[in-house]
Structure 1
Amino acid sequence: MSAHLKTLQAHAKKALKPAVQGHLSPAERIALYKRFLKIEEHRIKLHHRAGAGGLETAHARAGLLDVVLRSLFDLALSKRKDAPVIGLVAIGGYGRGTLNPCSDIDILFLLPRASNKLPADLTSLVQEILYLLWDVGFKVGHACRSVAECIQQAKADQENKTALMEARLIAGDKKLFAEFQARFEKECIAKGQAAFFELRRQDLVNRHEKSSKTVFLQEPNVKESCGGMRDYHNICWVARVKLGAKSLRELVDDRLLTAAALRNIEAAYDFLNRVRNELHYDAGRASDQLTLRLQGVVATNFRYPQRSILRRTEAFMRDYYRHTRALYRHTESLMETFEIDQETRAESGLKSYLMVRKKKREEFDGFVGRDGRIFPQNNSIFKEDPHRLMRLFQHCQVRGLRLSPAMRKLVKAHREDIGRPFCYSKTNRETFQAILERKGDVARTLRQMHRVGFLGRYLPEFGALDCLVQHEFFHRYTADEHTLRCIEELDALVGSEEPKKQIYRRLFHEAEDPYALYLALILHDTGRAENVREHTDGSAMLASKLCNRLQVHGPRRALIMFLVDHHLTFWRFATTRNIEDPDVVAEFARIVKTKARLDLLLLFSYADSNGTNTETWSSWKETLMLQLHSSTRIFLSEGRERYAASIRTEKKELKELAKAQLKPEKHTALDDHFKRMPESYFRFRSPAAVASHVKAVYRLAPPAEDNTFECSLQWLDSPEKGYTELVIATRDQPLLLEKICCALASEELNILSADFFTRTDGVVLDLFRVCTTNFEPVSDLNLRKRLSSTLKEVGQLAKYEHARYFRRKPNLLRPKDDHGMAFPVRAYVSNDLHPTYTAIEVQAVDRIGLLHDLFHAINSHGLNTANARISTEKGAAMDTIYITTHDGKKVYDEKILQHLQQTVETLIGKKD
């Protein structure tokens, strides 16, 4: 008996004595129990806050409830002369003797006869105990069954069988409970093992599917996700049924688990209980979802020493992922061991001998291939030839095998052999290169390497990423998991029939050096573990180091260094620069230099984005990427002059196609439009879009003598994309963009992206892709009318107060389930990004009115907006605004630049 339980029983004996002796009224008794529970629960909570282990706290709470339930049971029996034959039994989680702070309790009233044949006094006793429990405040799940009924229910329903497997007598008749245990062991544990194993295996598969078969979720469920508490329970149940093991320690005696593996499992389970305890205490109710907000709460309450909450959260989540990964892998291995055992038993039977063809067995290089798994011929194979450690994975790749539990255990036992001589070995280097050269079949092999710790030992640069949390807005996975998913995205292109992926499939097929491409993917994020400001710098440094060790030289080394150093360049150019500008294309072409590098960088960006988050590779981003790829490819193929000529040809063809969509009376307006619009407008513009823009300009009324503000609005719905394109044609005036954004904010419209063009005659064509705060197209006709009226009213005013039209409100645009994730807010004001403009780069949590506030800040500094790349993705605003002085030059005044930087940072909520 633990010291805590002894102290608890002493407290109970003293505190509950008046209730047991019957000196109190019913109301006084209930109040006494409630007070006792409150005091003792608070003691347990304080113990938890002081750093008590997860199981220690859960055992303490179960012990507390045991004491109270026994007291209530004794209280009910004290009113009867003869003690009836009945047992009060804890089942389910409570039966395990562990109970988290707000978990419900499940109890069984074990009866001497069928529940429908109970005498009145026994029925009355059960009801009295239940009423006492409810009055005290317990949430109780209960059942009343005889021994025979329990056995019948367990046979009929495997879930009932699981709950009863952990039955524990709290109070009552010991003989009756012993009878139940004996019959349950004989009729439910010893029989029906195959069906029970299949149920638990399927439960594991279903839960893991829901968690994408990874522990590295942004917001895991500590009970149900991969590596969660249910994985631990599952393996305990299976071990009990298949081996009769009352604890996992018995598996160590049977050599199914190593002592180290058991320590890992128990440490993980204790950690998960501690996390769950904290979640319950924080919420004041049963809560198992480790949300982004709660991760910071738990990390802080667990006293992680890092100064910022973000760093504390990262450290805590790294511990969480390591524990859950260990639990996930060990339980998977045990289930696989049991599955192999079950298959072997089935094949050894007479029926199997007659009906099942003997499965293929192959012996090679010290290994045995059987049933899709690879086994060691003996435990000395790696001592005989250490190079087999590398060849093992090549055999798995070529033969389509996976590591058996025995093989995983043996590799882990030889991890220390993967030292400097092994890593510098030419033989191993050539085998590893051969593995990476098998296009489309690399990720599966690397995952097997990573699972047993081989990959991180052979490539320590990658090993530093192990469970490294990337608490960035778009990164869903840890750094190591992200890298492996990038490689899976690349592999998946082989054989893909999806029309949208054919361009990437073709580029992958044409890639001449898959070794360099895969190695660059493995290395591209290694700098995240180096704590440098730009992780690409750290990655490039580590890539150079690895190339030296692997003896990678010449063009291959140059390609790897290029891909690692520029793996974000394609994305940055496409999403922040004006890619319709030939100068931007020329600058990008100077970076990539060749068509082969351009193709590989696009392929790399595709894999990187999709491996970051499935939502990151949006149709908008892909369109920009493909536009930049197409333009740069032409530029590299034909040179600047011929590239310019091709643009002129495209423009001419676009004009003819647009003319075909307009009535003859608008052809003159079309000619005028093509003369006056900037060249960047015509790149990648569809004929239908140009025709609609000409109509908008055509409808614009001539300038009025009284300078009345006139504008023409056109709404083009794209329900399949979830937005409406708003075309605004008007004449330029001071503060125009600010006023338009003010009007949009007044109707709480979200700006997803925007393009701004000014014709040589002063007519402005602004294209906004907008949606409602529910991320739907703007279909409300009344809203459209109100916006038109507001825009004309605001446009008329020389001076206006935006507060008259909208007020900043709490963010309406963040996903409903983001739970206040810490978003990396950034603002840079720079003269280095563009040759003729000063650039403002903003990454911020999107909100209604943000773009208005940015334009207002620019205008208040006496500056002009020349161009902009506006985009919103997953509730994040990523805007690049190009500004000039009034005379069209860059802003060089340091005071203005510094003040503008501070103003923008204040607007987006950036904190030091």
Structure 2
Amino acid sequence: MPLTELKSRAHTELRAISSGQLTRMESAGVVMRFIKQEEATIRQLHDEGAGGLEIAEARALLLDIILDVMFTAAIGRHEGSAPTVTLVAQGGYGRRHLNPSSDLDLLFLLPRASNKVTETLATIIQEILYILWDAGFKVGHASRSIAECIGEARKDQQNKTALMDARYIAGDKELFADFEQRFDKECVQKGQEAFFDLRREDLRRRHSKYSHTVFLQEPHVKESCGGLRDYQNILWVARVKLGFKTNEQLAEAKIITGSTCRQLNKGYDFLHRVRNELHYETGRGTDILTLRLQGVVATNFNYPQKTILRRCEAFMRDYYRHTRAIFRHSTSLMEYFEIENEDRSSHGLLGKIPFVHKKGKIEKFDGFFSRNDRIFLQNKDVISDEPNRLMRLFQHCQIRSLELSPQARKYIHRASKKIDRAFRYSVDNRETFRAILERKGEVGRILRLMHRTKVLDNYMPEFGAMDCLVQHEFFHRYTADEHTLRCVDQLDSLVGQPEDTNPGRKLYRRLLHEIQDPYAVYLAILLHDSGRAENVREHIDGSTMLADRVCRRLQIRGGRRALIMFLVDHHLTFWRFATSRNLEDPSVIEEFAGLMKNKRNLDALLLFTWADSNGTNDEAWSPWKETLMLQLYHSTRLWLKKGKEHFHTVMDENKAELLEICRKKLPKSFHEQMLKHFEQMPAAYFRFRDARNIAIHIRSIQKFLSRDALSDGGFECDLSWIDRDNRSLTELVVTAWNRPLFCEKMCCALANANINIIAADVYTRMDGVVCDLFQICTPEMGPVTSERTRQKVINTFRTLNEDPDPLKDYQAAKYLKPRTNLLHDDKTEGGIPFPTRVYVNNEISPTCTAIEIQALDRIGLLHDLFLAIGELGLATVHARICTEKGAAMDTLYVTWPDGSKIEDEKKQREIEDKLAKLVG
């Protein structure tokens, strides 16, 4: 947008304001019309592909001209008595970067203390602010003298940062020049260490908040690692340390390379373009790039891929690469300034990072040397003279606990581009890489160094293809490469801690300690998601194929190869069985044991699953899911150790043992009911259930029967609540006589109280007594402890069942008010759709038909599913409920009323169609 054209239009459109002929309200109207007209032009430029900074600077220029006109008009109204004042832009506006919904940060610079502001000056300031407010701008403002500005900057480093971007707009130029001179002398040149500590702490705080990675599924464009704030930190620190205001000055001083300068500027422009689009699309100051908005932005940016998922993948890969560059360069510069601080006495501020340092203990080895816990090259040709040193360098970092110096990173980057087939097939490099992966607890840090310098990506292209790769699964929080490295970090975290540290990890520590081939486990983790880059429907197939290729290249054979292939091929098997299958069914244990084959595979896969889940997101390995995993693990160990017949014998022995323990726990007045309970409950009920819980169930049944005997035929029930704080849930035992819609009405009562159902087991004794077991939690994933909430459930359940005819006039809608789904709410259109599905499966259970469902989770979903299944004439026997970040992945086990499976294909299609409509 040419400056002369805009100024010409402004002169024409705003002439009436400049002449002082209009009232404040009239001026606001003129300003609003002019802004609307010019904003439309700027928006069109954005839609046509203009750069992010071009749009942000055009908007800043527009506001500069408007404020200049308004300021001049306000001063003109007080001709002869107008005080001295300067209008100054601060913050992002001061940098001439004004995104569509950003705030205006203004400073009215005064020649004297703010408490001596004259009435005339106060009127001028109010006139300007009122017009901006009336025009719809959010304005942050302050009125201060130069001395007050300097005082605030000294008192608060954040104020100092804002004033560093101060820029003249209108008013007294000499006053602003005086401010600049004094601010530079008293605030920029003094107090440097305090300012540097503030900026370093800002980086640490933000990077910690955003998991120290740019590869978040829904990043914050401004605050996340590699976001706008990281870029701005570079210039703030460079200004204070060196007096530089641009990256170009840093490049001229040889502190950064020309390539780094271009990467930083290109990334900063890209982020502004993304932020502009977010603000335009949502109409507000949105800075979080949500999953749905990613699809919108990718489409509006005209990425050419045919499907929205592929467009989103291409866009986010660009986003991650730009933010990664900013993240790495900004942290490297902060590191540089710390090194420069150490070496100031012997090297000029603007000198290149030296090859040899004069201070600190130096240890030389293999063409390298270490100093202050960093590794350096003795000369620039060390790696090119002997290429295999490149792999050994990382082994030295591991053994000596060293980090890469900026100088080393520079030459490693260059060397990584020359990694070829000979380097990959080299026996020496293969053995060094194996040695790196065999040091339990010290692998993740080294792999990250190798990934950062592209050595890992080029040495193992199967991993490199995952670089910045978006994972289109709602429970994944990170990109494929970052997720993989976080899985490695999880394994490392098990090493070197005392046994009493985090006792919940004791089993996994033992499993890692007992693994005799850590190389195989770490390598399998590196490869387990590599198939995601192959764009195949089931990424496991692609990962298995690539793992086979790597094993051939690295000459891995025998048992080691078998373990790697097993872990890659089955890395989701443990999770799928535990969260979707009926673990009380012996046939499920038999099938899983057949897949495991031996204890070595079982132990390794549990450890692998633990690392994979914890590397996915913070909620993936919940106490409830761990309970399922361990139940499957211990059952399978027993099966593998003793065999099928002994497994059933142990189950029978366990039931007899449970009876004896219950006999001791319960008073004699409960013994008759206890014997009946053990005789009439189905065998599956007693598997993996402890005596304490069974005793609670028996008490609940006896209380119900006692009430029922006194009820004169009315509905009676008993609800017992068992809090499981260690598993973040509550177990609810519901007992009553079996009747139609029993489960549905219980789910309705729970949904009415805003309670989430995690799992449900439906048991009916031979005498017709129902003993339904629900595992429930609050929307915040905690146990249901509120007595008021519990009473609400009981009252609603009784009301729903008070009519003697359970099928008469059941109106669930009265209690199930529409609720927002539990996935992150985003009202934008055109984003990535949530993948819902319903699949009828007769293969995973010998006695029941399984209905696998993936849908947006919501309170009341299970009720609606149970009700729909009942309307189809089917009975729900068991429900395995699994939720991840607001996505429900449920498996319902159903039969015909006579207990048989649904074999008719036409009926199966009817089930799928009805439930698919229900889940959207």
Normalised to the residue count of structure 1, the TM-score between the two structures is: 0.92
What SS does the corresponding residue of 2:190 show, helix, strand or coil? coil
Q: Alpha-carbon deviation of 1:148?
A: 4.5
Does the aligned pair in 1 maintain the 2:88–2:166 contact within 8 Å? yes
The equivalent of 2:41 in structure 1 is 43
Matches within 5 A, 1:512-661: 512-661=516-665
The equivalent of 1:4 in structure 2 is 2
Is residue 833 of structure 2 the alignment partner of residue 831 of structure 1? no
Judge which range, 585-594 or 210-219, deviates more: 210-219
Q: Alpha-carbon deviation of 1:171?
A: 2.4
* Alpha-carbon separation, structure 2, partners of 1:131 and 1:870: 56
CA 1:802–1:294: 2 relative to 1, 3 Å: farther
* Alpha-carbon separation, structure 2, partners of 1:897 and 1:830: 9
Judge which range, 164-173 or 650-659, deviates more: 164-173
Matches within 5 A, 1:454-533: 454-496=455-497, 497-533=501-537
* Alpha-carbon separation, structure 1, partners of 2:827 and 2:785: 25
Q: Alpha-carbon deviation of 1:177?
A: 3.1
CA 1:889–1:398: 2 relative to 1, 3 Å: same
* Alpha-carbon separation, structure 1, partners of 2:688 and 2:279: 54
**Which amino acid in 2 is paired with 1:20?**
S
CA 1:800–1:301: 2 relative to 1, 3 Å: farther
Q: Alpha-carbon deviation of 1:120?
A: 7.0
The equivalent of 1:344 in structure 2 is 343
Per-residue deviation, residues 604-634 of structure 1 (Å, max 9, x unmatched): 1111111111211111111111111111111
* Alpha-carbon separation, structure 2, partners of 1:39 and 1:818: 29
Does the aligned pair in 1 maintain the 2:663–2:671 contact within 8 Å? yes
The equivalent of 1:13 in structure 2 is 11
Q: Alpha-carbon deviation of 1:308?
A: 4.6
- Structure 2 alignment gaps of length 5 or more: 349-357
**Which amino acid in 1 is paired with 2:520?**
A
The equivalent of 1:712 in structure 2 is 717
* Alpha-carbon separation, structure 2, partners of 1:194 and 1:717: 56
* Alpha-carbon separation, structure 1, partners of 2:47 and 2:787: 53
* Alpha-carbon separation, structure 2, partners of 1:150 and 1:313: 45
* Alpha-carbon separation, structure 1, partners of 2:124 and 2:322: 46
Q: Alpha-carbon deviation of 1:106?
A: 2.5
CA 1:809–1:239: 2 relative to 1, 3 Å: same
* Alpha-carbon separation, structure 2, partners of 1:768 and 1:122: 69
What SS does the corresponding residue of 2:665 show, helix, strand or coil? coil
The equivalent of 2:433 in structure 1 is 432
Per-residue deviation, residues 20-39 of structure 1 (Å, max 9, x unmatched): 23444554333222321221
Per-residue deviation, residues 152-184 of structure 1 (Å, max 9, x unmatched): 444443333322222222223334433333333
Q: Alpha-carbon deviation of 1:592?
A: 0.5
CA 1:173–1:749: 2 relative to 1, 3 Å: closer
Per-residue deviation, residues 49-75 of structure 1 (Å, max 9, x unmatched): 222111001100110111111112222
* Alpha-carbon separation, structure 2, partners of 1:876 and 1:594: 34
Q: Alpha-carbon deviation of 1:341?
A: 0.3
The equivalent of 2:680 in structure 1 is 676
Per-residue deviation, residues 66-98 of structure 1 (Å, max 9, x unmatched): 111111222234342488654332222222111
CA 1:765–1:115: 2 relative to 1, 3 Å: closer
CA 1:619–1:135: 2 relative to 1, 3 Å: closer
Is residue 457 of structure 2 the alignment partner of residue 449 of structure 1? no
The equivalent of 1:789 in structure 2 is 798
Per-residue deviation, residues 326-375 of structure 1 (Å, max 9, x unmatched): 111111111111110012227999xxxxxxx9632211111121111111
Q: Alpha-carbon deviation of 1:642?
A: 2.2
Identity of paired residues, percent?
A: 56
The equivalent of 2:861 in structure 1 is 850
* Alpha-carbon separation, structure 2, partners of 1:26 and 1:737: 66
The equivalent of 1:157 in structure 2 is 156
Does the aligned pair in 1 maintain the 2:878–2:893 contact within 8 Å? yes
Does the aligned pair in 1 maintain the 2:745–2:797 contact within 8 Å? no
Per-residue deviation, residues 212-243 of structure 1 (Å, max 9, x unmatched): 21112233221122111111111001111222
Q: Alpha-carbon deviation of 1:9?
A: 0.7
Does the aligned pair in 2 maintain the 1:715–1:724 contact within 8 Å? no
Per-residue deviation, residues 6-28 of structure 1 (Å, max 9, x unmatched): 21111011112233234445543
Aligned residues: 899
Does the aligned pair in 2 maintain the 1:95–1:167 contact within 8 Å? yes
Per-residue deviation, residues 862-891 of structure 1 (Å, max 9, x unmatched): 444344334445444332222334554333
* Alpha-carbon separation, structure 2, partners of 1:140 and 1:91: 11
Judge which range, 615-624 or 883-892, deviates more: 883-892
**Which amino acid in 2 is paired with 1:28?**
E
What SS does the corresponding residue of 2:140 show, helix, strand or coil? strand
The equivalent of 1:753 in structure 2 is 759
The equivalent of 1:905 in structure 2 is 916
Q: Alpha-carbon deviation of 1:390?
A: 0.7
* Alpha-carbon separation, structure 2, partners of 1:364 and 1:804: 76
Q: Alpha-carbon deviation of 1:504?
A: 0.6
What SS does the corresponding residue of 1:88 show, helix, strand or coil? strand
Judge which range, 16-25 or 546-555, deviates more: 16-25
Matches within 5 A, 1:276-287: 276-287=275-286
Does the aligned pair in 2 maintain the 1:19–1:29 contact within 8 Å? yes
Judge which range, 156-165 or 591-600, deviates more: 156-165
**Which amino acid in 2 is paired with 1:258?**
T
**Which amino acid in 1 is paired with 2:244?**
A
Does the aligned pair in 2 maintain the 1:742–1:806 contact within 8 Å? no
CA 1:717–1:812: 2 relative to 1, 3 Å: farther
The equivalent of 2:893 in structure 1 is 882
- Structure 1 alignment gaps of length 5 or more: 350-356
- Pick aligned residue for 1:799 from 790, 804, 807: 807
Per-residue deviation, residues 245-267 of structure 1 (Å, max 9, x unmatched): 12101111222212221121111
* Alpha-carbon separation, structure 2, partners of 1:137 and 1:746: 41
Does the aligned pair in 2 maintain the 1:676–1:760 contact within 8 Å? yes
Does the aligned pair in 2 maintain the 1:221–1:288 contact within 8 Å? yes
What SS does the corresponding residue of 2:344 show, helix, strand or coil? helix
The equivalent of 2:353 in structure 1 is none
**Which amino acid in 2 is paired with 1:423?**
R
Does the aligned pair in 2 maintain the 1:837–1:884 contact within 8 Å? yes
The equivalent of 1:252 in structure 2 is 251
What SS does the corresponding residue of 1:494 show, helix, strand or coil? coil
* Alpha-carbon separation, structure 2, partners of 1:361 and 1:907: 69
* Alpha-carbon separation, structure 2, partners of 1:413 and 1:21: 63
Larger relative contact order (Cα-Cα within 8 Å, sequence gap ≥ 6): 2
Is residue 407 of structure 2 the alignment partner of residue 406 of structure 1? yes
CA 1:696–1:280: 2 relative to 1, 3 Å: same
The equivalent of 1:353 in structure 2 is none
Per-residue deviation, residues 726-754 of structure 1 (Å, max 9, x unmatched): 22234445555445445545655432211
What SS does the corresponding residue of 2:237 show, helix, strand or coil? helix
Matches within 5 A, 1:290-305: 290-305=289-304
Judge which range, 135-144 or 209-218, deviates more: 135-144
Does the aligned pair in 2 maintain the 1:770–1:778 contact within 8 Å? no
Does the aligned pair in 1 maintain the 2:700–2:720 contact within 8 Å? no
* Alpha-carbon separation, structure 2, partners of 1:586 and 1:807: 43
* Alpha-carbon separation, structure 1, partners of 2:779 and 2:123: 58
The equivalent of 2:267 in structure 1 is 268
**Which amino acid in 2 is paired with 1:907?**
L
* Alpha-carbon separation, structure 1, partners of 2:386 and 2:417: 14
**Which amino acid in 2 is paired with 1:715?**
S
CA 1:711–1:749: 2 relative to 1, 3 Å: farther
